[in-house]
């Protein structure tokens, strides 16, 4: 693919915590309009990579270019403008505990889109409904919600500004299978309609088989292999073989074609 189709270009990323090296010379691309699944064992640095890309952590070496710009070298204003095009769903939701769900989603709409409070709360309600939350939850505080509902509300907030790039950190973990399938479909629909690029960290094999265009495997401190699922699954690495051809991988593969062919 040509470079102007690349929305995120990470080159030579190194991340170290004291003696522990998490990433070494890691390269990764995210193309416009694709859903990239990022997989790897626990502790392989998936979330750290996400934090490095969105600029929450400055990598110890290497460069991340987002829409062709290096986030670290931008001024505050420009940086904020780029960050507005991100939607991030954190692993634990990271909803603001002092605000209701509606206020959580309305906050970026008021601050960045310049909507009035009424308009913003109305639109926030739409986003919450889109993420699959009932109206009754809208005025509740995050404390009184289940883990699955927090995930949905966090997705609604990530989608608030209709971002260009959506970062999802284990979005379907803790959702029931029906909810997880609906979640997958929602991401697909949004991607098709809005041309979203999605950076998706997940352990959910069904999600991987159903919606991802490419898969990047994080292992041995770098991206071991990146490509379409069929290609990646053929890689000789023993971890990849165990991952995609273990009992769960086989089950997901068998279930996938039925849904996969629809797209």
Partner 1 sequence: MEPLSPPSATLDTSSHPACLRIAGDWTLAHYATLRRQSQSLRTQYGDDAVADLSQLGRLDTAGASLLAELLGAQRLARCTAQLPEANRALLNTVYTSVENYCIPVREPERNALLMLLERIGCAVGTLWRDTLQLLGFAGVILQTLMRRALQPHRWRWTPVVAHIEQTGLDAAPIVALLTFLVGAVVAFLGATVLADFGATIFTVDLVAFSFLREFAVLLTAILMAGRTASAFTAQIGSMKANEEIDAIRTLGLNPIELLVLPRVLALLISLPLLTFVAMLCGMVGGAVVCALSLDIPPAMFLSLLQTDIGVQHLLVGLVKAPFFAFLIAAIGCLEGFKVSGSAESVGAHTTSAVVQSIFVVIVLDAVAALYFMEMGW
Where along the sequence are the contacts to partner 1 (CB under 8 A)? 97-98, 109, 113-116, 119, 121-123, 125-127, 129-130, 132, 135, 138-139, 141-143, 159, 161-162, 186, 189-190, 192-194
For the bound state, the minimum distance from the C-beta of residue 189 to partner 1, rounded and expressed in Å, comes to: 5
Cβ-in-10-Å burial (0-12, 13-18, 19+) of 152 comes to: buried
For the bound state, the minimum distance from the C-beta of residue 35 to partner 1, rounded and expressed in Å, comes to: 14
Residue closer to partner 1, measured from CB, 118 or 238 = 118
For the bound state, the minimum distance from the C-beta of residue 222 to partner 1, rounded and expressed in Å, comes to: 33
Residue closer to partner 1, measured from CB, 188 or 232 = 188
For the bound state, the minimum distance from the C-beta of residue 77 to partner 1, rounded and expressed in Å, comes to: 18
For the bound state, the minimum distance from the C-beta of residue 157 to partner 1, rounded and expressed in Å, comes to: 13
Residue closer to partner 1, measured from CB, 138 or 252 = 138
For the bound state, the minimum distance from the C-beta of residue 259 to partner 1, rounded and expressed in Å, comes to: 15
Residue closer to partner 1, measured from CB, 65 or 191 = 191
Residue closer to partner 1, measured from CB, 38 or 190 = 190
Residue closer to partner 1, measured from CB, 78 or 98 = 98
Residue closer to partner 1, measured from CB, 116 or 220 = 116
Q: What is the 3-state secondary structure (H, E, C) of the chain?
A: CCHHHEEEEEEEEEEEECCEEEEEEEEEEEECCCEEEEEECCCCCHHHHHHHHHCCCCCCEEEEEECCEEHHHCCHHHHHHHHCCEEEECCCCCCCCCCCHHHHHHHHHHHCCCCCHHHHHHHHHHHHHHCCCCHHHCCCCHHHCCHHHHHHHHHHHHCCCCCCEEEEECCCCCCCHHHHHHHHHHHHHHHHHHCCEEEEECCCHHHHHHHCCEEEEEECCEEEEEECHHHHHCCCCHHHHHHHHCHHHHHHHHHHHHHHCCC
Residue closer to partner 1, measured from CB, 121 or 253 = 121
Please say whether the beta carbons of 160 and 105 come within 8 A.
yes
**Torsion on CA atoms 55, 161, 192, 82, rounded to nearest 10:** -30
For the bound state, the minimum distance from the C-beta of residue 141 to partner 1, rounded and expressed in Å, comes to: 7
For the bound state, the minimum distance from the C-beta of residue 240 to partner 1, rounded and expressed in Å, comes to: 33
The β-bridge partners of 223 are: 218
Among positive and negative, which fits the CA dihedral 46, 128, 159, 76? negative
């Amino acid at each position: 693919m040509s470079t102007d189709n690349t929305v995120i270009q990470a080159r030579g990323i190194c991340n170290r915590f004291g003696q522990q090296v998490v990433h070494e010379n890691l390269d990764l691309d995210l193309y416009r309009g694709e859903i990239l699944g990022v997989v790897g064992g626990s502790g392989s640095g998936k979330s750290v990579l996400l934090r490095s890309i969105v600029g929450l952590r400055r990598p110890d070496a290497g460069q991340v270019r987002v829409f062709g710009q290096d986030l670290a070298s931008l001024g505050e204003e420009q940086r904020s403008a780029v960050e507005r095009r991100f939607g991030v769903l954190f692993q634990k939701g990271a909803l603001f505990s002092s605000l209701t769900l509606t206020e959580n989603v309305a906050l970026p709409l008021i601050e960045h889109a310049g909507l009035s409070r009424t308009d913003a709360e109305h639109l926030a309600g739409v986003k919450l409904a889109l993420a699959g939350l009932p109206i009754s939850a809208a005025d509740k505080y995050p404390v009184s919600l289940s883990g699955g509902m927090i995930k949905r509300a966090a997705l609604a907030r990530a989608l608030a500004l209709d971002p260009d790039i959506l970062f999802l950190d284990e979005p379907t973990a803790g959702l029931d299978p029906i909810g997880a399938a609906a979640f997958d479909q929602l991401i697909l629909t949004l991607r098709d309609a809005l041309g979203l690029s999605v950076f998706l960290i997940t352990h959910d094999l069904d999600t991987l088989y159903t919606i991802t265009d490419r898969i990047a495997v994080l292992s041995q401190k770098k991206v071991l292999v990146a490509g379409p699922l069929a290609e990646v699954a053929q890689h000789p690495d023993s971890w990849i073989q165990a991952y995609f051809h273990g009992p769960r991988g086989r089950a997901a593969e068998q279930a996938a074609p039925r849904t996969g062919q629809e797209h």
